[in-house]
Amino acid sequence: MRGADYVIKRLAFAVLTVFIAVTINFALFRLAPGSAVTNLARVPHATPETRQALKRQFGLDKSKFQQYLIYLQQLAHGNLGISFANSQPVADNLRTALINSVPMVFLGTIFAIVLGTLTGIVAAWRRGTKTEGASLTTALTFYSMPTHWLGLMLVILFAGTLPTGGMSDEFLIDPSFTTHVKDLGEHILLPSLTLGLVLYGEYTLIVRSAMLETLGEDYVLTARAKGLKPWAILRRHALRNALLPITTLVALSLGYIVAGAILIETVFSWPGIGRAVYDAVLQRDYPMLQGAFLVLTCSVVFFNLVADLLYFRLDPRITE
């Protein structure tokens, strides 16, 4: 069966990508000359015993290939090492961070997809009018703003009315459930809005050109010739076909979302995975950085796989 073939192919691609990311990760941290871990054992004025002990601790006394195998083995057991900064297992740190990140990123992305799709369709539909010009200009403007700077602008605008840092109010004593949720909602608003606004610009541009391409197809002309109402053509003939490139392009923008999350969480001190990356960079906490990179890559690969499978569901023709 062709469909099964396709699914297996995409799965294999995802697994291989993760494997490549793991290998890049290992190579960057261990093999590159003067790489992070090699440097650790180079303490100035250390006695040979200390140096030996350090080398053993990080497994540097073994051959590179053995080190690689050990790394893979540890990874398979979910062991990402110990954070230099707080001496906790990296996996535990990352789990907490990831749980914090997900709602913020999810909310922002949903906002962007809804708003971006709507304005994109309107822009394509009203091609050549002032509406198109206005929606394109707005989208391009938001698309052009550096993510963290837009966040800072929102901080300046809303300082005083909305909380601009952290995930919850530390001074709430024994909050009831509703107060807690309300507090979280207030904190999540600005970071999510920043992510949403930055992404929305990109989505508008994507949806618009996907719609324009579909509106130029012959079957749209046919539908028009049949005397269908514009709305019916738009919904049934154009939008459904435009969904295909939109799915792909939204999947490709995942890397952009991740980048946005790192910058936004830094601005708003949101204790998520992006903030973890920033802290790891500042403190040169290499195990954390390595782990965070791996988690981010795996999540992007995973959602790409989801998009691929969704694409197959939307358009079974691709297996042909």
Give the footprint of another protein on residues 129-168 (CB under 8 A): 129, 140-141, 143-150, 152-153, 155-156, 159
Nearer to another protein by Cβ, of 16 and 181: the residue is 16
Locate tokens 């507090």: which residue? 183
Asked if 80 and 276 touch (Cβ cutoff 8 Å), the reply is: no
Asked if 248 and 307 touch (Cβ cutoff 8 Å), the reply is: yes
Number of Cβ atoms within 10 Å of the Cβ of 316: 12
Asked if 295 and 22 touch (Cβ cutoff 8 Å), the reply is: no
By rule CB under 8 A, what string of x and - marks binding of each residue 7-36 to another protein?
------x--xx--xx--xx--xx--x--xx
Distance CA 261, CA 253 (A): 12
Minimum distance of another protein from residue 304's CB (angstroms): 6
Minimum distance of another protein from residue 210's CB (angstroms): 10
3 state SS of 227 = coil
Q: How many residues does the chain have?
A: 320
Greatest Cα pair distance, the chain, in angstroms, is 87
Asked if 202 and 140 touch (Cβ cutoff 8 Å), the reply is: no
Of 315, 313, 303, nearest in space to 14 by CA: 303
Nearer to another protein by Cβ, of 29 and 188: the residue is 29
Of 89, 82, 70, nearest in space to 30 by CA: 70
Nearer to another protein by Cβ, of 112 and 285: the residue is 285
Which of 167, 195, 246, 300 is the binder for another protein (CB under 8 A)? 300
Distance CA 261, CA 83 (A): 21
Minimum distance of another protein from residue 301's CB (angstroms): 6
By rule CB under 8 A, what string of x and - marks binding of each residue 33-62 to another protein?
--xx--------------------------
Considering only 60-68, 79-87, 107-115, 274-282, which stretch makes contact with another protein by CB under 8 A?
Answer: 274-282
Minimum distance of another protein from residue 271's CB (angstroms): 16
Which of 83, 117, 241, 297 is the binder for another protein (CB under 8 A)? 297
Which of 284, 313, 316, 318 is the binder for another protein (CB under 8 A)? 284
Residues 95-134 that bind another protein (CB under 8 A): 124-129
Interaction of residue 267 with another protein, rule CB under 8 A: yes
Residues 218-247 that bind another protein (CB under 8 A): 218, 220-221, 224, 227, 230, 233-234, 238
Distance CA 320, CA 317 (A): 6
Of 264, 84, 86, nearest in space to 167 by CA: 264
Considering only 47-55, 176-184, 186-194, 211-219, which stretch makes contact with another protein by CB under 8 A?
Answer: 211-219
Asked if 150 and 142 touch (Cβ cutoff 8 Å), the reply is: yes
Considering only 40-48, 90-98, 182-190, 262-270, which stretch makes contact with another protein by CB under 8 A?
Answer: 262-270
Q: How big is the site for another protein, counted in residues (CB under 8 A)?
A: 74
Distance CA 172, CA 289 (A): 32
Q: How far is CA 191 from the centre of its chain?
A: 14
Minimum distance of another protein from residue 99's CB (angstroms): 19
Nearer to another protein by Cβ, of 247 and 304: the residue is 304
Nearer to another protein by Cβ, of 153 and 172: the residue is 153
Which of 181, 216, 236, 318 is the binder for another protein (CB under 8 A)? 216
- Concatenate the DSSP letters of all residues of 39-105 into one string: HHT--TT--HHHHHHHHHHTTTTS-HHHHHHHHHHHHHTT---B-TTT-SBHHHHHHHHHHHHHHHH
215, β-bridge pairs: none
Nearer to another protein by Cβ, of 13 and 58: the residue is 13
